[in-house]
Amino acid sequence: MKFENTIICGDCLEVMKDWPDGCVDLVLTDPPYPKEFDFVWDSLATSYRVLKEGRFLVTFCGHYQVPKVIDALRNGGYEWYWIATIPNNNQPIMFGYKMKCCHKPCLIFRKGNKGQPNRILYDNFGLRLKTTDWKISRDLHKWGQALGLFYEPMDSMSSIGEIVLDPFVGSGTVCEAAKRLGRRYIGIDISPEYCKIAEERLRAVDTGVPVKEARAGQGALFE
């Protein structure tokens, strides 16, 4: 596919409209949670057409959004499949509720009623896949997530060389995870600023120089 291993700046609805049917192997994303961004769930549902039959869409969301996300994705044609969780050690109070959030919801949908993950899944991501990449950094994005958040679903629901799509790529965490796990990737974001950061971040995987250090003039660690 001509857009593989690229970050595309634009509205995902416009970007994807001319793509061929069934050209993506996995949709994996973590859209913004504030209520003013609730429209993203209907936009995300349009990925149904470009995802291959029997393959999966995985999205993280806020606790209060779970019913809304399920409705939007099912209305878009997706089959409701499963919910997993990620431990949230920060345990914030949910806005508007007297409830501590001790986990992060991860919702999984399938295109069609057939198709299985590569292996048995744990409903608590991170228990099986051992990684040191669980540190959350907000240096590049105010809602940045840890790389480890995306390793388990990517490892479970795609294979090396397949295409992973993030329609709301932000600073590029999903695409970096894809690159490190040997997947091809496509990232889309409407923000030119974050698209640039995502490109710098992916370049840093090759050079070994983190974005902040590269901006300060540090050269490649590996020639």
Among 116, 121, 108, 115, residue whose Cα is nearest residue 152: 121
Q: What is the pLDDT of residues 160-194, one digit of tens each?
A: 999 999 999 998 999 999 999 999 999 999 999 99
pLDDT of residue 2: 80
- Could you tell me the residue ranges of all domains in the chain? 6-215
Rounded CA-CA distance 147/174 in Å is 7
pLDDT of residue 3: 86
pLDDT of residue 219: 63
The answer to whether residues 56 and 102 touch, using CB atoms and an 8 Å cutoff, is no
Structure tokens at 190: 């409407």
Class of domain 6-215: alpha beta
138 vs 188, residue with greater confidence: 188
Question: Could you tell me the pLDDT band of residue 122, with boundaries at 50, 70 and 90?
Answer: confident
Model confidence, pTM: 0.87
Among 44, 27, 52, residue whose Cα is nearest residue 174: 27
Question: What's the mean per-residue pLDDT of the chain?
Answer: 85
DSSP string, 166-186: ETT-TTTHHHHHHHHTT-EEE
The answer to whether residues 188 and 175 touch, using CB atoms and an 8 Å cutoff, is no
Q: What is the pLDDT of residues 139-169, one digit of tens each?
A: 655 655 777 788 889 999 999 999 999 999 9
